[in-house]
Amino acid sequence: MSTDTMKAIRLHEFGGPEVLRYEDAPLPELKPGEVLVRVHAVGINPPDWYLREGYKDLPPEWQPAVSFPFILGSDVSGVVEAVATDVQGFSIGDEVFGMVRFPSMGESAAYAEYVAAPASDLALKPAGIDHVHAAGAPMAGLTGWQFLIELGHNEANPFQPESHRPVPLGGKTVLVNGAAGGVGHLAVQLAKWKGAHVIAVASGKHESFLRELGADEFIDYTKSPPEDIAHDVDLVLDTLGGPTTGRFLRTLKRGGALFPVFLGFSDAEEAAKLGVTVSLTQVRSNGPQLAELGRLLDAGTVRVAIDSTFPLADARKAHERAAGGHIQGKIVLTVV
């Protein structure tokens, strides 16, 4: 490999998994405040395939303005190769993980052999887990953390006029919908860590997996709608969100909360009538929060489950796996 190029997965147009091209790309240049990471593993996340498709479900004015070609992806784990002169706290050879520059569309550039990342987006990788598991943690873990534990920033909320506020979880009943997925399986564990009674909703094949992660109750949505079974819940985290999320209003007690991870909720009047708070937020890069999550990962208090791994060159197959659904944990690309 010559010194100024690397292998990466780039997009030259929006579309299905077939538009992912494994090819040479320029090595990123280190800017002030940044760390150059030699990537060992890359976590894949829903925003990756939404961006690959051009966020076609969003209204046109919200669709991303990106310039082609660009490199997809945001979650990495790897080894520090170089450090800008103004960066403290990281040295060459450190193992690090992070969600890079999210939510800047198309600028994270993680599906690659090297990534230049703001130091503030990174944390030292927990010694107790490998790069594959570390790469699976950032976006899913930070989503759970920022929805359930601490927002960690004061940026304007693009989805609602007021800031998202997590609610105290100790002694509360928390229902996690989509509990076996990336965000879901980590949210189950974070809620348990905070002292909640957790109801996990997923398809039946994930029951033993979710009970091992600490779920107190399990609802197989393929057998019965969760909203017919669960009642008097304090908080619903709907990791699927979208237009059907309003069905969970009737599972909640008065004064409860519904946190949909994706847009589409449209029953504001009913929520107000039932005294339910509905709130969502946009996950944002945050190195210090990842360092806190890293301590839980190191201790084994929280673990990342890996659904499957694919070499970087096979990113297309990884996206096809994601489209297949019924994911258990995270899909990760291996680079080194």
Residue 58 has a pLDDT of 77
Mean pLDDT, all residues of the chain? 96
If asked whether residues 18 and 133 sit together in one domain, one would say: yes
Q: Which two tokens stand for residue 51?
A: 């961006």
CATH number for the domain harbouring residue 93: 3.90.180.10
pLDDT in tens, 278-302: 999 999 999 999 999 999 999 999 9
Q: Are 254 and 301 found together in one domain?
A: no
Q: Are strands 70-71 and 95-99 parallel, antiparallel or unpaired?
A: unpaired
Is residue 106 located within the same domain as residue 204? no
Over range 266-273, report the average pLDDT. 96
Question: Are residues 126 and 232 part of one domain?
Answer: no
Summarize pLDDT for 69-117 with one digit per residue, the tens: 999 999 999 999 999 999 999 999 999 999 999 999 889 999 999 999 9
Q: Do 12 and 134 reside in the same domain of the chain?
A: yes
The boundaries of the domain holding residue 256 are 156-278
In a domain, 150, yes or no: no
pLDDT tens, 182-235? 999 999 999 999 999 999 999 999 999 999 999 999 999 999 999 999 999 999
The pLDDT score that the predictor gives to residue 1 is 43
Note whether residue 219 is domain-resident: yes
- Using alpha carbons, select from 290, 329, 287, 291 the residue that is nearest to residue 307: 329
Query: CA gyration radius for the chain?
Result: 20
The rounded Cα 13 to chain-centroid distance in angstroms is: 24
**Cα separation of 156 and 158, whole Å?**
6
What pLDDT score was predicted for residue 276?
Answer: 98
Burial group, residue 293, by CB count within 10 angstroms (0-12, 13-18, 19+): buried
- 171 occurs within a structural domain: yes
pTM value? Answer: 0.97
The CATH number of whichever domain residue 169 belongs to comes to 3.40.50.720
List Cα–Cα distances, 278 to 160, 200, 243, 258, 267, in angstroms: 10, 20, 13, 5, 9
Asked, for residue 307, whether it belongs to a domain, the answer is yes
- For residue 2, the model assigns a pLDDT of 46
> What percent of the chain has a predicted confidence (pLDDT) above 70?
99
Contacts with 230 (C-beta within 8 Å, 6 or more apart), sequence order: 175, 199, 201, 219, 251
- Per mean pLDDT, which range of 59-68, 87-96, 235-244, 326-335 is the poorest? 59-68
Number of domains making up the chain: 2
| High-pLDDT (> 90) share of the chain, % | 93
- Mark whether 267 and 167 lie in a shared domain: yes
Q: Do residues 195 and 260 share a domain? A: yes
122 and 26 together in one domain? yes
Cα–Cα dist 22/13, whole Å = 14
Average pLDDT over residues 236-260: 97
Residue 56 has pLDDT above 90, yes or no: no
Is the preceding omega at residue 225 within 30 degrees of 0, hence cis?
no
Region 115-140: what's the mean pLDDT? 98
Residue 147: inside a domain: no
- Compute the average pLDDT of residues 178-183: 98
Task: Please give the pLDDT value at position 305.
Answer: 98
- pLDDT for res 64: 78
- My answer on whether 192 and 272 are in the same domain is yes
Do 257 and 299 share a domain, yes or no?
no
Average pLDDT over residues 112-137: 98
Please indicate, yes or no, whether residues 230 and 133 belong to a single structural domain of this protein.
no
Residues 127, 12 within the same domain: yes
Cβ 90 vs Cβ 122: under 8 Å? yes
Residue 149 included in any domain: no
Residue 151 lies in a domain: no
* CA dist list (Å): 58 to 54, 62, 64, 242, 307: 9, 6, 9, 12, 28
Q: Is residue 96 part of a domain?
A: yes
